A and B are shown apart, each in its own frame.
Chain A
Amino acid sequence: MATDAVAFAGADASVQGQSLVPVPYVVRSLTRETADTVTLVLDPDHGGERPRFQPGQFNMLYVFGVGEAAISICGDLEQRDRLVHTVRSAGKISQALSEMPPGSTVGVRGPYGTGWPLDKAVGKDVVIVAGGLGLPPLRPAIYDLVRHRDRYGRIEIIYGARSPKDLVYYSEIQTWRARPGLRFQTTVDTAGRDWYGDVGLVTARLPDARFDPANTVAFLCGPEIMMRLTAQALETRGVPPAAIYVSLERNMKCAVGICGHCQFGPEFVCRDGPVFSYDEVRRFMTVREV
């Protein structure tokens, strides 16, 4: 038995108290969001409740015989009987996850990483900007903002996708839009004539967003270039870099900061992130080879 933070003892293998052993979950349902994206609802195989998580954290999902992938948790904090993950089919593991029929078993370990600091947003305006599959990791935070609406100032959400058919959670977005005190703008890169919404970058929607820059917390998630451009636009408008948070994505393997696959400058994205203050990581976000 190891005496330091790393312990390998068969089924109890852990690092700094975080288990490395997948726990079986059963696929309760699989909902198709877009042509290549599904939302999986998983039940603990052993019954009872799933572990608590913070919005923005991720799990490692293990498709037995195929492999393991880091997937953000995108369900409601308050629904303790299930785990929800939205997965885009982009490789062998995510494709296998996207095709799992209800009743099949998935290995889950986690939650891992840092979350969106909702506590720092209390009493402030909140700006959320998501691009592509950046909305799912922000959804637990949106649920919390909606549930505790009175804790926050203005809430502005901007979501960009490649095309209207690539927008996830479309019906839920309509529900959020109907809520008072929350503005949800969507925009796409290109669209056909059946789209009456905006076409253009998420940054082009920022001038319409109403918030007090000095008293705002911003959460950004999506392709890195989108987050960089949005962070720059927010900074130009007067939001302090320390109040802007980004969620980085890297090739995560161990999820507990020992393998080094997700190293980003001096940080391990799995352990020190994925949510970072822009202030912490901005200098690395423009380095060509990190």
Chain B
Amino acid sequence: MTKSHTTTGAPLFADHPFVQELPAPLVAAMGRVAVERTYATGDILLREGEPAREFLLVVSGKVALEAVMPARPRLTIQTVGPGEVVGWSWLTPPHRWRLDARAVKPTQAFAIDSDILRTLLDEDPANGYKFLLHLLPFIAQRLENTQFQLLDVHGD
């Protein structure tokens, strides 16, 4: 993984679209531990099989989610842009990434340590539930995307 730049503190974290409707105390707690990351084109943000230690909120740029199959070229199955999030494998065991994520443009993101975030959500189940409700559309979108790829939505 290449991280060309890492700084603590995230003055614009509260402006990220993902957190706009989350409870303010949760946003504040997330903001305190969020770090800003900058990735150059081609940098790998996360790699399949490795421990899922971060939740990423994309601020700018573009990230490709890639499936890696032995003896076959990598396949990008979705791109994620500003305002979207990358990765939820940290939520459920075995807490390992199921895809690769690669920056296809210079990309900025906020990263939150997943151990800390899980603890925040566990300790406040009401806000944890709201967080999951907020994350669910992104998961559903990936599922829908896969469904429509099977239906060949962009076909003939």
Q: Report the separation of the CA atoms of residues A225 and B64 in the bound assembly, to the nearest whole angstrom.
A: 25
Within 8 A of B (CB), among A174-214: 187-193, 195-202, 204, 208
Contacts of A226 in B (CB 8 A): 153-154
Which of A188, A222, A223, A229 has the most chain B CB atoms closer than 10 A to its own CB? A223
Taking a contact as CB atoms under 8 Å apart, the answer to whether B78 and A223 are in contact is no
| Interface assignment of B124: CB less than 8 Å from any CB of chain A | no
| Interface assignment of A50: CB less than 8 Å from any CB of chain B | no
Contacts of A229 in B (CB 8 A): 148, 153
Taking a contact as CB atoms under 8 Å apart, the answer to whether B145 and A223 are in contact is no
Taking a contact as CB atoms under 8 Å apart, the answer to whether B151 and A225 are in contact is yes
Q: Report the separation of the CA atoms of residues A230 and B155 in the bound assembly, to the nearest whole angstrom.
A: 15
Contacts of A191 in B (CB 8 A): 64, 75-76
A190's partner among B75, B81, B141, B144 (CB-CB below 8 A) is B75
| Interface assignment of B104: CB less than 8 Å from any CB of chain A | yes
Q: Report the separation of the CA atoms of residues A192 and B156 in the bound assembly, to the nearest whole angstrom.
A: 21
Taking a contact as CB atoms under 8 Å apart, the answer to whether A193 and B156 are in contact is no
B154's partner among A90, A131, A193, A208 (CB-CB below 8 A) is A131
Taking a contact as CB atoms under 8 Å apart, the answer to whether A161 and B79 are in contact is no
Contacts of A133 in B (CB 8 A): 156
Within 8 A of B (CB), among A217-257: 222-223, 225-226, 229
Within 8 A of A (CB), among B78-117: 78-79, 81, 102, 104-105
A161's partner among B62, B141, B154 (CB-CB below 8 A) is B154
Within 8 A of A (CB), among B58-77: 62, 64-66, 73-77
Q: Report the separation of the CA atoms of residues A212 and B62 in the bound assembly, to the nearest whole angstrom.
A: 26
Contacts of B79 in A (CB 8 A): 187, 197-200
CB distance from B3 to the nearest CB of A (A): 20
Taking a contact as CB atoms under 8 Å apart, the answer to whether B154 and A196 are in contact is no
B153's partner among A166, A198, A225 (CB-CB below 8 A) is A225
Find the B residue at minimum CB distance from A230: B153
Find the B residue at minimum CB distance from A167: B154
Instruction: Count B interface residues, CB 8 Å.
Output: 26
CB distance from B139 to the nearest CB of A (A): 14
Q: Report the separation of the CA atoms of residues A187 and B148 in the bound assembly, to the nearest whole angstrom.
A: 14
Q: Report the separation of the CA atoms of residues A218 and B133 in the bound assembly, to the nearest whole angstrom.
A: 32
Taking a contact as CB atoms under 8 Å apart, the answer to whether A162 and B154 are in contact is yes
Taking a contact as CB atoms under 8 Å apart, the answer to whether A193 and B76 are in contact is yes
Contacts of A198 in B (CB 8 A): 62, 79, 81
A160's partner among B66, B77, B141, B153 (CB-CB below 8 A) is B153
Given contacts A189-B154, A223-B155, is CB(A196)–CB(B145) below 8 Å?
no
Given contacts A198-B62, A204-B141, A225-B148, is CB(A192)–CB(B76) below 8 Å?
yes
Contacts of B78 in A (CB 8 A): 199-200
Which of B62, B74, B144, B156 has the most chain A CB atoms closer than 10 A to its own CB? B156
| Interface assignment of B152: CB less than 8 Å from any CB of chain A | yes
| Interface assignment of B149: CB less than 8 Å from any CB of chain A | yes
CB distance from B115 to the nearest CB of A (A): 30
Proximity string of chain A (82-93) to chain B, C-beta cutoff 8 Å, 1 when within and 0 when not: 000000101000
Taking a contact as CB atoms under 8 Å apart, the answer to whether A162 and B77 are in contact is no
| Interface assignment of A260: CB less than 8 Å from any CB of chain B | no
Contacts of A161 in B (CB 8 A): 154
Q: Report the separation of the CA atoms of residues A199 and B80 in the bound assembly, to the nearest whole angstrom.
A: 8
CB distance from B136 to the nearest CB of A (A): 16
| Interface assignment of A153: CB less than 8 Å from any CB of chain B | no
A-B contact pairs, 18 of them (CB 8 A): A132-B154, A132-B156, A161-B154, A162-B154, A162-B155, A187-B79, A189-B154, A190-B75, A190-B76, A192-B75, A193-B66, A193-B73, A195-B76, A198-B62, A200-B79, A200-B145, A201-B145, A201-B148
Interface residues of B (CB under 8 A from A): 62, 64-66, 73-79, 81, 102, 104-105, 141, 144-145, 148-149, 151-156
17 additional contacts (CB under 8 A) given A195-B76, A229-B148: A90-B156, A131-B154, A132-B155, A132-B156, A162-B155, A166-B154, A189-B149, A189-B154, A191-B64, A192-B74, A196-B62, A198-B81, A199-B65, A199-B76, A199-B79, A200-B79, A208-B81
